[in-house]
Copies of this chain bind each other. A is one copy, B any other.
Amino acid sequence: MATVNDILEFVETLAPREMKMDWDNVGLLCGGKNRPVTKILVALDPFEHVCKEAADWGAELIVTHHPLIFSAPREVTDETSVGRSIQLLCANGISAINAHTNLDCAPGGVNEKLAQVLGLEDVEVIGRENLIRCGNTQATLPEFLSHIKKTLGCQGLRYVDGGKPVSKVAVGGGSCASALMEVYDAGCDTFVTADVKYNQFWDAKELGINLIDAGHFQTENPIVPVLTEKIQAAFPEIQVKVAESHADCMKFY
């Protein structure tokens, strides 16, 4: 029977550990390598409700993008979100593995999937960390905003108009706005990312770049069904599914 370690090794063929950022925490963060696996729940985040769904369904493993443990905890208690998640997993014998910045950077990973969903062509890697992807399309900014909203299923977008039509587009799922100068140096006119701050919108305005915040969840979640299918294909005897309880908690008004 497949073990947690078998899944871990397969996931790290998709998202090699060497591709992760130095500060990141990836791999097996809870449970044990030798435990048998019959059901895997896949989700963007290992939040409490996802752990609960895994337990209710009888999964022995969750596979997520974001890590269960980011800043190492000095206690594991009901008072913190990570403490509740760890307790739920341990109480139900569930292991947790994740691929984070290694999956962002990997071929076929978060950012390549995002570029594909947005229909970019001639996609290539830019920037020092091999994180951002850029590719070509042709649209006015309003057309492209409408296209993003539809293809990513965003309730709303926040953006700054850089004053140019959309032609060479950079994408970085999640919080990548700090890569703005690299996007500019690569000659892009448009950058789709998330968690954009006030000064970053202004920086883009001054650089003449269309900067679009399409949501952290919406720009990264497209990888989740991809990851699910790949694991399912590699382990046909295991039940693998996307968590049903997890969606973005943030709304627009």
Contacts and interface: CB of A to CB of B under 8 A. Distances in A.
- One complex includes copies of this chain to the number of 6
A75 B158 contact: no
A48 B216 CA distance: 30
A253 B78 contact: no
A160 B142 CA distance: 27
A249 B78 CA distance: 33
Given A72-B72, A175-B198, A158 B78 contact: no
B31 A77 contact: yes
By DSSP majority rule, is chain A's interface helix, strand, loop, or mixed? Answer: mixed
A159 B250 contact: yes
A77 B28 CA distance: 8
B249 A202 contact: yes
Interface in A65-110: 69, 72-79, 81, 86-87, 89-91, 93, 95
Contacts of A165: none
Contacts of A217: 198
A149 interface: yes
B156 A156 contact: yes
A250 B156 contact: no
A206 interface: yes
A252 B251 contact: no
Given A47-B202, A72-B73, A76-B90, 15 more contacts: A28-B75, A30-B75, A30-B76, A156-B156, A156-B252, A156-B253, A158-B158, A160-B249, A161-B251, A174-B198, A175-B198, A194-B198, A195-B197, A195-B198, A198-B217
